[in-house]
Structure 1
């Protein structure tokens, strides 16, 4: 039910809760290529840096943070400024609840308001169907939301003494035109956002 989750802007004060969601992904899966759990201070800095220009969202249920999603710059070169890379992590007890889709709808809506055109996602991808650390669920989730595979890198991540592939998927969310209007910072459009819609 929609009212089960409340989506809002993240703050640096959320760092500890986000680390607790992220840690099992680092320690037990190949979904992230990080191999050490970041500190709470690391996460505070990540949130702060993202929010300078882009959305960082959290979802709460009964006052507890159960998931988060954010966008980051896709490339440092200026010509790539209309593209972002999206990431999402859901508490294991809230997976398959519809929360991931809700977070992505909110993220995409905000990015459209900012003037971004392409959302890219990098997804760790297994060679084998029976890998205990990684499945194809993330790729299937993104495909369900309208993302398309655009490329695959082979054996580029080494974790748990095995090699993993990496795929890129993309979704076009805006019209590409000549004299493209410049993107806006998240804080410029934040007053227009009605988080209760999500």
Structure 2
């Protein structure tokens, strides 16, 4: 398996949306009910990748998954924190691809000066055909810690789901803080 991890291109969005559509229609991993239009999805990619890393994993020209970071919160005091997301093609799961994407994503974020990486994850305490808690286990294996839980806060497929926040510290919190740079600024160095 020769995987290439690269920065997203807007021409990738149709393939990315096809991967994401599975999660919207078949899982409670995202609480989105409807698959966004291609134009809406392209705008999401454009907005996020203007500042943060948005990475694609491909093999032989076929996109197998993607991962990105986005603003944790819009206020300036949160600039050193980011939220992560990852989606893999259904057939690409369980082969180490998620770790490859997250390794590169975390490396990019560290270069930018991001110190806290947060993940918002749906969970269930019971057997469920739409959610298996794999994301929580993946993040735990990557060194994320549970920092909060919201009970029955998401409703999808006639089921109430909990939502947890997990966090991983990527760097040292020093005073005064060093300004965060965009992914484009650090890529140029």
Name the count of aligned residue pairs.
189
**2:158 is equivalent to residue 161 of structure 1:** yes
Q: How does 1:26-175 map to 2 (within 5 A)?
A: 26-128=24-126, 130-175=127-172
Q: Give 3-state SS (helix, strand or coil) of 1:97's partner.
A: coil
- Distance (whole Å) between structure 2 residues aligned to residue 15 and residue 9 of structure 1: 12
- Distance (whole Å) between structure 2 residues aligned to residue 136 and residue 89 of structure 1: 14
| Length-normalised TM-score, structure 1 | 0.94
Q: Which runs of 4+ in 1 moved over 2 A?
A: none
- Distance (whole Å) between structure 1 residues aligned to residue 43 and residue 187 of structure 2: 20
- Distance (whole Å) between structure 2 residues aligned to residue 54 and residue 170 of structure 1: 18
Q: Is the 8 A contact 1:115 1:182 kept in 2?
A: yes
- Distance (whole Å) between structure 2 residues aligned to residue 165 and residue 95 of structure 1: 23
Give unpaired runs (5+ residues) of structure 1.
Answer: 193-198
Q: Give 3-state SS (helix, strand or coil) of 1:175's partner.
A: coil
Q: CA deviation at 1:191?
A: 2.9
Give unpaired runs (5+ residues) of structure 2.
Answer: none
1:186 to 179, 183, 189: 183
Q: Give 3-state SS (helix, strand or coil) of 1:177's partner.
A: coil
| Length-normalised TM-score, structure 2 | 0.98
Aligned CA-pair RMSD:
0.8
Q: Give 3-state SS (helix, strand or coil) of 1:138's partner.
A: helix
